Structure 1
Amino acid sequence: MFSFQSFLRVIILVIISGIGLFHAGQAQDTLGLDEAIQLGLQNNYAIQIAHNESAIAENNASLGNAGFLPRLSANISKSRSVEDSRTVYSEGSLPDREDENAESTTTSAGVSLEWTLFDGLRMFTSYERFNELERLGEQQARLTIEQTLQEIIIGYYNITQLKRSLNALENTAEISRERIRIAETKKDLGSGSEYDLLQARADLNADSAALIRQETALKDAKIVFNQLLARDSQTEFAVVENIPLDEQLAYTDLEQQMLTNNVQLTAARMSQEIAELEVKEVKAERYPEISVNAGYNYNKNESGAGFLAFNETNGINYGITASVDIFDGFNINRRIRNAEIALKNQQLALEEQREVIQANLDSDYQNYINALRLVKLESENLTYAERSVSIALERFKLGTISSLELREAQRTLVSAENRLIEAQYEAKVAETNLFRLSGQLTGEGAGE
C-alpha cells in the first residue's frame, strides 16, 4: 500500500523538480523555496497530526474490525473458601454433622470460540466502508498538505515582496542622501537655499521612518513563516528576490484537472460513497444472524464438608445459533430513514462543493489574468520611472528643477516599484490557488 511517508517523498521530489526555484550561487544563508517546502512537510504540526489520523483510518481497515474473523477467548480461575457448617437431617435418617474450618477449593478453565457466518452481508459492507474511510483519510491528509504548501509558497513570496519593497525604500533613501549632499554643496556655493536643505533632510527622515516600518513588517512575516515551518521563530534567513510566474495556464485545462483531481471534490465523493454503505449496513440488520460456537471446559471442586469431597468434569461443547429481530420498536426503520437522509445531505454537500470550487476557479483565474496584465503594465511604468528619476537627479544637480520636483520623481519611482511587486505577488497567489484547485499543487492527481 502507498504509505503516507512515500507520498511526502514524492511531493518533495516533484516540487523540487517542477518549481525549480533553487538558484546556484545563492548565499549560504538563503532559504530556497524547495528547502522551505521540505522543512514544512517534515516538521509542520498540522501535517504530523494528519499523518497520525490517516494511520488510524488505515489500522481500522481490517477484516477483524469488519467482523470476518472468529473470536477466541480463554479463561482460568481458582477460588478457595474456609467455612464453618452445621447440617441437621430429618429424624432418624443420618446423624447430624458439624464441621469447623472446612476448606473448599474450586478450579475451572475453558476455551471458547464464536464465529459469525452470516449477518446479512453486513461484514462485507463494513469492510468496504472501512477501506473507503482509509482512502478518505489519505485524501484529508493530502488536503492538509496542500493547504500547508499553499501557505508556505504564499508566505515565502510575501517575504520576497516585503524584502523588495524594503530595497526600493533603501534606494529612495540613498537618493535622498545624495539630494542632501547636492543641497549642501549648493548652499556652500551660494546657489542653494536653507529651505531646500531642510526639506531634503526632512524627506530623508521620512524615508528612514518608512524603512523602519518596512523592516518591522519583514521581521514579523519571517516570524510567522518560521512558525509555519515549526522551527525557532527567531531563525534568520534570506529569500530569493524574484517571483517567477507561469504565464501559460489555460482555463480549460485547469477546469478539467479540477473535476478529476481536486482533493476536496474527491473527498466529497468518498463521503457520499461512505454514506451509501452506511445505508446498506443498517438494512443488513433486517436479516438473520447465524453463528457457530465451540468450547472446552474443565472444572474441579474439592470440599472439606458435605457429601462430595471431590468432583471433576471436563469436555467440549459446540452449537449453532440463529437469531433475528422480529420487532424492535421500528428502530431499524428509523435508522434506515436517518441513514438515507444523511446520504442525501452528502449528495447536496458534493453539489455545493462542486459549485464553490468552480466559482473559486473562475475568480482566481480572472485574478491571475488581470495580475499578469498589471505585471506587464507596471514593468513598463517602472522603466519610465527609473529613467525619470535619473534625469531629475541630473537636472537637480544643474539647478534646472526644484527639490520638490525631484521628490515627486522619487515618489513616482517608489510607487511604480511597489505596484509591480504587488502585481507579481498577486499573480503568484492566484497561480498557487489555481494549482491547488486543479489538484496539481502536490504534483499528482488526488484521486489516484
Structure 2
Amino acid sequence: MKNRMILLSVLLVVSKLIAQEQIITPNEAVSLALENNYGIKLANNQLEVAKNNANILNSGYLPKVTGSAGATYNIDNTEAEFSNGSVTVLNGAESSRYNASVSLNYILFDGLGRSYDYKQLKERYQLTELQARETIENTIFQLFTVYYSVAQLKENNSAIQQTLEISKDRLVRAQYQFDYGQSTKLNVLNAEVDINNDSINLINVKQQLINFKRDLNVVFGNALTTDFDVDTTINFDVLYDKEALFESAKNRNISLMQIEKNITISGYDIKSGKSAYLPTIGLTGTYGWNKNNNNAASFLAVSTNTGISGGVNLSWNLFDGGSTITRVKNAKINLENQQLQKEQLLASLQRDFNNAWDDYQNKLSIYKIQEDNIVTSQNNFDRTQEKFKTGQINSIEFRQAQLNLLNAELSRNQAKYQAKLSELLLLQLSGELLNVKF
C-alpha cells in the first residue's frame, strides 16, 4: 500500500511537470484567441445582430396582418314607444355584441424607399463583417505583441541564468584562490556582489515572465488553466515584394475597405431620402365577423354579419416643411465627406506603409547585425575566460566580458522580436495578416 502511494505521488508530480511544459505554438495561440477572446466573441455577436437586421423579415417588403376581437355586454333600463302608440318598458334588459376581424396592410409602392433601405441593411451587414475582421486583426496583433514578449523574456531568463551560473563558478574559483593564498578577499567579495546582481536580475525577469504569461492568457480568454510555454523559433525566410504588398494594401486594407463600404451606404441613403418625393400606394383588406344579441325592445333579436372588404389607398406628401430636402442635402454632404476621408486615408496609408516597410527592413538588418555581434561577443568571452583561468586578466575585465556577452544576447533577443512585430504590422497594413501561416 505504501509503495502504491509513493508511485501515485511520483506519477502526479510527473504529470504536473509535463503539464507545465506545454508549449503553445503561434498557430495554437491564434486558434485559442479566435475561439476564446472576449473581444472577438463580442464582435461575432454584433455580426449576428447585423445579420438579423439584414433579413427579409426586417425589410418592410412583407405585409402586416392584424387580428382583433371584442365583446360588449349591456344591461339597460329601456322605455320604448312604438309607432302604433304602444309602450314597452324593460328593466334590466340584456344585450351583447361580439366582433372579430383580420386586417391586412401592404405597401405596394413607396417611392423605392424600402428597396434602398433593404440594400443599406445588407451593406451594413457587410460593414459589420469588416469591423469584426478588424477586431480579429487587432486582437491577433495584440496577441503576438504579448506572445513575443513572453518569448523574449524566456530567452532573457535563459541568458541571465547562464550568466548567474558563470558567476557562481567564478565565486568558487575565487574562494579556492583565496583559501590557497593566490588572491585577495576582494576577488571573493566582487564575485559575491556580481552573484547578487545576477540573482536580482533573474528574479525580476522571472516575475516579468509570469506577468506577461498572465497577460497572454487574458488574450486567450483565460482558456489555459495550467502553466504553459511559448515557441521562441522565428523565421524570416519570406521575401516580400514592396509593390505587390502596397497593391494589396490598396485593395485589402481593412480601414480602406470600411470607408468604401460607408460610401456605398451613403449613396443608398441619398436615394432613400429622395423616395419621399414620390407617392405611397397601399393595399388594405379585412375579413370581419359581427354578432349582436339585442334586447326585447329592438326590432331584431339577433343579427350576424360576415364579410370581406378591400381597398387601395394613395398618399402623397406634397410638402413636409422641407425636412426631406434637408435630409437629402445632408446625405449628399455626408457622401462627400466619406469620399474625402477615403482620399485622406489613402494618403495616410501610403505614408504608414512606407514607414512600416522601412522600419521592417531596418529592424531586420539590426537583428542580423546583433546575430553577428553574438558570435563576436562569445569569442571575446571565451578568450577572456581562458585568460582569467590562467590569471592573465583580473576579475573586473572578466566581468566586463561577461556583461558584454549578456547585453549582446539581450539586444539580439529584443531585435529579433521587434523585427517580427514590424513584419506583422506591415502585413496588417497590407490586409494580409489573416492569410499568414504563423
TM-score normalised over the length of structure 2: 0.90
Asked if the contact 2:107–2:281 (Cα under 8 Å) also holds between the matched residues in 1, the reply is yes
Taking the TM superposition and a 5 Å limit, the aligned residue runs for 1:18-37 are 29-37=22-30
Taking the TM superposition and a 5 Å limit, the aligned residue runs for 1:154-173 are 154-173=145-164
Amino acid in structure 1 at the alignment position of 2:162:
N
1:351 matched to 2:338? The reply is: no
Q: CA RMSD in A?
A: 2.1
Q: CA deviation at 1:340?
A: 1.6
Q: CA deviation at 1:365?
A: 1.2
1:109 matched to 2:68? The reply is: no
Asked if the contact 2:124–2:265 (Cα under 8 Å) also holds between the matched residues in 1, the reply is yes
Q: Which residue of 2 aligns with 1:361?
A: 353
- Counterpart CA distance in 1 for 2:415 and 2:426 is 16
Q: CA deviation at 1:243?
A: 2.4
Amino acid in structure 2 at the alignment position of 1:44:
N
Specify which of 106, 121, 133 is matched with residue 130 of structure 1: 121
Q: CA deviation at 1:168?
A: 1.0
Amino acid in structure 2 at the alignment position of 1:352:
Q
Amino acid in structure 1 at the alignment position of 2:284:
N
Q: Which residue of 2 aligns with 1:299?
A: 290
Asked if the contact 1:224–1:233 (Cα under 8 Å) also holds between the matched residues in 2, the reply is no
1:401 matched to 2:393? The reply is: yes
Specify which of 69, 72, 76 is matched with residue 65 of structure 2: 72
Q: Which moved more, 1:334-343 or 1:68-77?
A: 68-77
Provide the secondary structure at the position in 1 that maps to 2:68: strand
- Counterpart CA distance in 2 for 1:367 and 1:411 is 28
Q: CA deviation at 1:89?
A: 5.1
Amino acid in structure 2 at the alignment position of 1:367:
D
Q: Which residue of 1 aligns with 2:379?
A: 387
Q: CA deviation at 1:234?
A: 6.1
Specify which of 246, 262, 267 is matched with residue 276 of structure 1: 267
Q: Which residue of 2 aligns with 1:14?
A: none
Deviations 1:328-354 (A, max 9, x none): 111111111121222222222222332
Amino acid in structure 2 at the alignment position of 1:400:
Q
1:53 matched to 2:46? The reply is: yes
Amino acid in structure 1 at the alignment position of 2:36:
N
- Counterpart CA distance in 1 for 2:277 and 2:183 is 101
Provide the secondary structure at the position in 1 that maps to 2:134: helix
- Counterpart CA distance in 2 for 1:246 and 1:341 is 48
| Distance change (3 Å), C-alpha of 1:372 and 1:304 | same
- Counterpart CA distance in 2 for 1:304 and 1:90 is 15
Amino acid in structure 2 at the alignment position of 1:292:
L
- Counterpart CA distance in 2 for 1:190 and 1:376 is 46
- Counterpart CA distance in 1 for 2:336 and 2:271 is 14
- Counterpart CA distance in 1 for 2:37 and 2:86 is 85
Asked if the contact 1:245–1:427 (Cα under 8 Å) also holds between the matched residues in 2, the reply is no
Q: CA deviation at 1:98?
A: 3.4
- Counterpart CA distance in 2 for 1:305 and 1:436 is 86
1:411 matched to 2:403? The reply is: yes
- Counterpart CA distance in 2 for 1:303 and 1:208 is 103
Specify which of 247, 251, 261 is matched with residue 260 of structure 1: 251
- Counterpart CA distance in 2 for 1:414 and 1:234 is 33
The share of aligned pairs that are identical, in percent, is: 32
Q: CA deviation at 1:66?
A: 2.3
- Counterpart CA distance in 1 for 2:72 and 2:115 is 47
Asked if the contact 2:50–2:128 (Cα under 8 Å) also holds between the matched residues in 1, the reply is yes
Q: Which residue of 2 aligns with 1:153?
A: 144
Aligned length: 417
Deviations 1:411-436 (A, max 9, x none): 11111111111111111111011111
Gaps of 5+ in 2: 1-18
Provide the secondary structure at the position in 1 that maps to 2:230: coil
Asked if the contact 1:122–1:284 (Cα under 8 Å) also holds between the matched residues in 2, the reply is yes
Specify which of 335, 338, 356 is matched with residue 327 of structure 2: 335
Q: Which moved more, 1:233-242 or 1:175-184?
A: 233-242
- Counterpart CA distance in 2 for 1:433 and 1:246 is 17
Deviations 1:273-303 (A, max 9, x none): 1011011101111001112122211111213
- Counterpart CA distance in 1 for 2:243 and 2:75 is 90
Specify which of 111, 114, 118 is matched with residue 120 of structure 1: 111
Specify which of 288, 298, 301 is matched with residue 309 of structure 1: 301
TM-score normalised over the length of structure 1: 0.88
Asked if the contact 2:47–2:125 (Cα under 8 Å) also holds between the matched residues in 1, the reply is yes
Q: Which residue of 1 aligns with 2:414?
A: 422
Q: Which residue of 2 aligns with 1:19?
A: none
Amino acid in structure 2 at the alignment position of 1:243:
I
- Counterpart CA distance in 2 for 1:262 and 1:42 is 24
Deviations 1:77-116 (A, max 9, x none): 3x2424242436599944252322x333222111222221
Asked if the contact 2:76–2:94 (Cα under 8 Å) also holds between the matched residues in 1, the reply is no
Q: CA deviation at 1:305?
A: 5.6
Q: Which residue of 2 aligns with 1:437?
A: 429
Provide the secondary structure at the position in 2 that maps to 1:442: helix
Provide the secondary structure at the position in 2 that maps to 1:231: coil
Amino acid in structure 1 at the alignment position of 2:392:
T
